[in-house]
Amino acid sequence: MHKHLIGTCLVALLTLPVTAACGEVSAPTDSMPVNYGGFWATVQFALPGTPDPFDDNYSTGLGGVIGFDHRLAKGLRFLIQVSYTGFPGRGSDYRGHTIGLATAGTGLKWTPGRSGRLFRPYIFGDIGVAVVWQPLDDTSELDEHGNSATLWDLRGRESFYYHLGVGIERRLSGKFCVFAQVSSINVVTIKDNWPDANQMRVTNLSLGFQIATR
């Protein structure tokens, strides 16, 4: 089934992509773009219908993101970001190899409430292109030990993703915050007979931190 996984990319992180820089920055500079980066750990749960190798009941991964956001209105920010999350393969065909998920997209993040609150909830969504790296399982290309001679295959160039989630964040300083979030990401291949494309449908539980560089 994984041979038809051309479209899958925790992110997700994964995650995949996480969220824009933590909340609102100080009032005099709210309208300026904010550059940010972050890292997270995630537990990924496959939803029914997800093809191999993402169909494990769960797997863990680590990821990172870089991007920038821009304030559109109070509590609402526009973001552009790229992210990558790596998951160790758990199935028999992928054990010992890392399955990587990369995304590049744009979206919105809404953080309601007062900026001075100890913990702030947020809602986010983004959409973009997705690429997956996964080990080959072509048994016709084996080395002298019976292992695949080519370990990596680039897949998913004809894919896009959409990602929705909710979370809570705690700012520890003006530029640094920690967060916890729950999100769902779908990755769709448009190379096959649309709309009967293969999809990766997973839910992620993530913990991480972000640093704003402005």
Tokens 């991007």 found at: 67
Nearest to 101 by CA among 162, 10, 171, 212: 10
pLDDT of residue 186: 86
Q: Which residues pair with 67 in a beta bridge?
A: 36, 81
Residuewise pLDDT in 10s, the chain (214 residues):
433 333 333 333 333 444 455 655 443 344 556 789 999 998 888 777 666 656 566 778 899 999 999 999 988 999 999 999 887 755 545 555 567 788 999 999 999 877 667 789 999 999 998 887 665 544 344 445 555 544 444 444 467 899 999 999 998 887 899 999 999 988 887 665 544 455 677 888 999 999 987 6
Domains and CATH numbers, the chain: 2-206 (2.40.160.20)
SS (H, E, C) the chain: CHHHCCCCCCEEEECCCCCCCCCCCCHHHCCCCEEEEEEEEEEEEECCCCCCCCCCCEEEEEEEEEEEEEEEECCEEEEEEEEEEEEECCCCCCCCCEEEEEEEEEEEEECCCCCCCCCEEEEEEEEEEEEEEECCCCCCCECCCCCECCCCEEEEEEEEEEEEEEEEEEECCCCEEEEEEEEEEEEEECCCCCCCCCEEEEEEEEEEEEEECC
pTM of the entire predicted model: 0.72
pLDDT of residue 59: 76
Contact 107, 129 (CB under 8 A): no
Give the whole-angstrom CA distance, residue 121 versus residue 180: 10
Task: Give the C-alpha distances (Å, rounded to integers) separating 126 from 50, 81, 132, 138, 201.
Answer: 20, 9, 18, 34, 15
pLDDT of residue 149: 45
Contact 94, 5 (CB under 8 A): no
Contact 204, 16 (CB under 8 A): yes
